[in-house]
Amino acid sequence: MLDLEVVPERSLGNEQWEFALGMPLAQAISILQKHCRIIKNVQVLYSEQTPLSHDLILNLTQDGIKLLFDAANQRLKVIEVYDLSKVKLKYCGVHFNSQAIAPTIEQIDQSFGATHPGVYNAAEQLFHLNFRGLSFSFQLDSWNEAPKYEPNFAMGLASLQIPHGAMVKRMHIYTGNNLQDTRAPAMPLACFLGNVYAECVDVLRDGAGPLGLKLRLLTAGCGPGVMTDAKVRSLERSIYFGDSCQDVLGALGSPHKAFYKSEDKMKIHSPSPHKQVPSKCNDYFFNYFTLGVDILFDSTTHLVKKFWDQIQELLGHPMEKPVVLHRSSSANNTNPFGSTFCFGLQRMIFEVMQNNHIASVTLYGAPRTASQARPESSSSAH
């Protein structure tokens, strides 16, 4: 059984790991993978048809915990403990829920101190006791007598004193004073872990199509030798088609990984008569995982050929029929999202899933020669 520390408006965790509000989804998954022998039977819940309209949830079924992530920015928004019998909980190092300590209203009052009177939701038949960044829900049907309360017609709820012996049914950790209005906070400094993240990616373009990318980056900088001066810093970097790998390294730093292409399944669609002639060298690309960008380099010139970036909305109406893409490999021949459709438009390829949401966008352009200067963009979009 997990033994976890509750920090209102911030986190749930222990000495080995911590789920912090504002944490990226990928980082939470990394924690679960690292501790897979302890944290088992994790479900991933999402909406197939409207993925951006519903939270993405990691459900720790064995431990009675749900992690709710904002669907758009994929940062942790709410931590819910929905089965307190499966986990030990403590606050400021002192347990308020364990096999020996029942999470009653008296125990909550003793551990967390005074707060406003409980709020009754008639539709759910639950009483909610709210602190800043933390709330406890108590089940009504376990009580022998009906609660006495004065209606609050403005809110549609009612304030009251929660009867003695009431047991906590659910607990939520969130940002702010209201669970219903909470939003995923900015990523905390502790989650940067030396990485750089992209706050915004703009497409630099002219009348013919894309020229490159302008990235607004976030990093956890710090003052001279003093960790208390640490703060999030913002900077901008631009990369263009025709940039060398040294240019990209200078702008964005070292990639998380570098990959070499062993095959090109789209080669058959090339109009070149030499498309079936095998290349002596393999193209390669830099994977900047925390930026959501892959950068493809030509194997002979080592210049940028393509960018890969995830976006949320379609930016045009292609005239030709799409190419059907089956994402699979010898190592993983199953794909839960099925086949996708690739539409070409203005030197851009949009990969569209079956629910009409975009999975990826590929930008491509002719590399410039060494004698050509960097192009000047007339507009940008993101």
pLDDT in tens, 138-172: 886 555 444 555 554 444 444 456 667 788 999 99
Q: Is 212 exposed, middle or buried (0-12, 13-18, 19+ CB in 10 A)?
A: buried
Joined tokens for residue 131: 């602190």
Q: pTM of the predicted model, to two decimals?
A: 0.80
Joined tokens for residue 73: 């920015």
| pLDDT for position 157 | 40
With a cut of 70, which residues of the chain have pLDDT below it? 140-163, 221-230, 262-281, 299-319, 327-337, 366-382
Q: Is 171:138 a contact under the CB 8 Å cutoff? A: no
180: left (phi over 0), alpha (psi -120 to 50) or beta: alpha
Closest Cα partner for 48 from 329, 356, 360, 381? Answer: 356
User: Any idea what DSSP says for residue 29?
Assistant: H
Q: Is 125:141 a contact under the CB 8 Å cutoff? A: yes
CA distances from 320 to 159, 317, 341, 343, 344 (A): 61, 9, 12, 8, 8
* Residue 112 DSSP SS3: helix
CA angle (233, 238, 239) in 5-degree steps = 135
Closest Cα partner for 6 from 96, 66, 141, 121? Answer: 96
Rounded CA-CA distance 3/313 in Å is: 42
Cα dihedral sign, 272-276-278-282: positive
Q: Which residues lie below 8 Å from residue 214, measured CB to CB, with a gap of 6+?
A: 201, 202, 204, 236, 237, 238, 380
Pairing of strands 157-160, 149-152: antiparallel
Closest Cα partner for 358 from 29, 72, 24? Answer: 72
Rounded CA-CA distance 123/120 in Å is: 9
CA distances from 380 to 89, 209, 211, 251, 344 (A): 49, 11, 10, 19, 19
- Measured in degrees and rounded to the nearest 5, phi and psi for residue 217 equal -105, 150
Joined tokens for residue 182: 């909470």
The pLDDT tens digits of the residues spanning 167-189 come to: 899 999 999 999 999 999 999 99
Alpha helices in 113-271 (DSSP H): 245-252
